[in-house]
Structure 1
Amino acid sequence: MNPIRTEIRGHVFEVTLDRPNANAIDLATSRIMGEVFTCFRDDPELRVAILTGSGEKFFCPGWDLKAAAGGDAVDSDYGVGGFGGLQELRGLNKPVIVAVNGICCGGGLELALSGDIILAADHATFALPEIRSGTVADAASIKLPKRIPYHIAMEMLLTGRWIDAPEAARWGLVNRILPSDRLMTAARALADELASGPPLVFAAIKEIVREAEDMKFQDALNRITKSQFETVEKLYRSEDQIEGARAFAEKRDPVWTGR
């Protein structure tokens, strides 16, 4: 049985983690996810991805400890894109929506943090319980203090305590909370909205945000004005740039082609 289900709806690519009983990720699954998200990255017809889990109890608890006990080493080759295919995937300049449909902890939370927008079912819960098993949530230790207040992130990392969806929203960990039966409807509506937008602009935004994260403001701005971001340079030389100006002048909706 394939642990990953995919579906294409127009320009939207849906990825569902489907590994009963908890959607945990072993090495084989991580490598498949890397291949799946690489295909998404490289297909010009695909503009937005949605990542979710099967069922209503688990989004993803992260690393499959049963597989680890059977010989899957935690420091093995996770495949292209690193753990879950997203954390280290280079050049992913398309929006990724994460629809958290249940328990989201450990590497599952790290995977969610690799997305751009996080929607959560109202019963979703979040934690980094690695401290209790004597391991470190390495990616979360880097990402989480940059996404939510430092002291809240450190409490989660140091104690492993669980937070519910309302608290996750209060700290800005998730964008929106939905009733579970409306989660995917909302994710798809948002994906369709993004898919109708300018893909070259989205690509430029993602590259700028990613590359500028550890740069001083002026240094990042100078890179933009000096055409040192490939996506920005492509945007300003594109047919879409002309189309956007024409559509504004003609008071109509633009037709984006990604060229």
Structure 2
Amino acid sequence: MAAHTSEAALLVREDSHGVVTLRMNRPRQFNAISEAMLHALQQELHAIALDESVRCVVLAGAGPAFCAGHDLREMRARPTLAYYQALFSQCSRVMQSLQALPVPVIARVQGIATAAGCQLVASCDLAISTDTAQFAVSGIDVGLFCATPSVALSRNVSPKRAFDMLVTARFIDAATAVDWGLINAAVPEDRLDSAIAEKTARILAKSAVALRHGKSMFYRQRQMSLADAYAYASDVMARNMMEEDASAGIDAFLEKRPPPLHKPS
């Protein structure tokens, strides 16, 4: 396993057999998202997008919490409209970069995921938390509607549930987050890493080419009309059929052989 840090250890990257773990590393601040943290995340996501050896990304937080949202102290130090517009645009680019990565991204959540921290969870493709984790978009408590987190949240849970969280600042527990579709699973704390490992192992066993075709298609088609989505998906599936992985996999199925293994680089 290789590891390195960026932006003065604000973000720690670990590489292990095709899985990259990005660990936010401000535990005393509950991994509050500073400008430097956003910059470090953007740099790593850009590098990962260009690295075909990466098969899966895990986004994690050091210490007792996953992420408590934006660094409010830093935000209040520069109270100008231009600064806030630039900050939230920078944050939005990071969130979109998570979705634009050609590989699955899994949020590893413990403690709390609030405001932009909840936005991070909703922006990942998959999410697994401890069964004691809690989630909220609680900016309204300090007079700030969580507008940018609402974009990701409302694309994960129903509009009425999202709006309820946004206007009441209510926390939901891990079981509710599973039920509402914000996360995939909640497990005891001592099983969190093994649950993440099980999920990444299943992903690594699949065709990287097919996953790259599929992730991009999955999000693009959601913004299309039904007819356009089918036309686009049909073209993607046809192109996927032309890939060697699909040919080998289908031939193995027809010949009743085990499917080919897809080992990470």
Using the size of structure 1 for normalisation, the TM-score is: 0.88
Give percent identity, aligned residues only.
26
Aligned with 2:27 (options 20, 29, 33): 20
State the AA in 1 paired with 2:16. Answer: R
Paired residue total = 251
Q: Which residue number in structure 2 is paired with residue 172 of structure 1?
A: 181
CA distance in 2, matches of 1:208, 1:253: 24
CA distance in 1, matches of 2:191, 2:47: 28
Q: Which residue number in structure 2 is paired with residue 64 of structure 1?
A: 71
CA contact (8 A) 1:86 1:111 kept: no
SS of the residue corresponding to residue 146 of structure 1 reads coil
- CA-to-partner distance for each residue in 1:211-248, whole Å, 9 max, x for gaps? 111212221111233x3x5xx56533322122212322
CA distance in 2, matches of 1:97, 1:91: 14
CA contact (8 A) 1:33 1:85 kept: no
Using the size of structure 2 for normalisation, the TM-score is: 0.87
Aligned with 1:75 (options 60, 64, 85): 85
State the AA in 2 paired with 1:65. Answer: L
Question: How far does residue 142 in structure 1 lie from its aligned partner after superposition?
Answer: 2.3
Residue 52 (1) aligns with residue 60 (2): yes
CA distance in 2, matches of 1:160, 1:168: 15
Question: How far does residue 96 in structure 1 lie from its aligned partner after superposition?
Answer: 0.6
SS of the residue corresponding to residue 50 of structure 1 reads strand
SS of the residue corresponding to residue 85 of structure 2 reads coil
State the AA in 2 paired with 1:166. Answer: A
Stretches of structure 2 lacking an aligned partner (at least 5 in a row): 1-7
CA contact (8 A) 2:210 2:240 kept: yes
CA distance in 2, matches of 1:188, 1:66: 36
Question: How far does residue 163 in structure 1 lie from its aligned partner after superposition?
Answer: 1.2
Residue 124 (1) aligns with residue 133 (2): yes
CA distance in 2, matches of 1:177, 1:45: 29
Aligned with 1:87 (options 95, 117, 122): 95
CA contact (8 A) 2:14 2:21 kept: yes
Stretches of structure 1 lacking an aligned partner (at least 5 in a row): none
Matches within 5 A, 1:34-53: 34-53=42-61
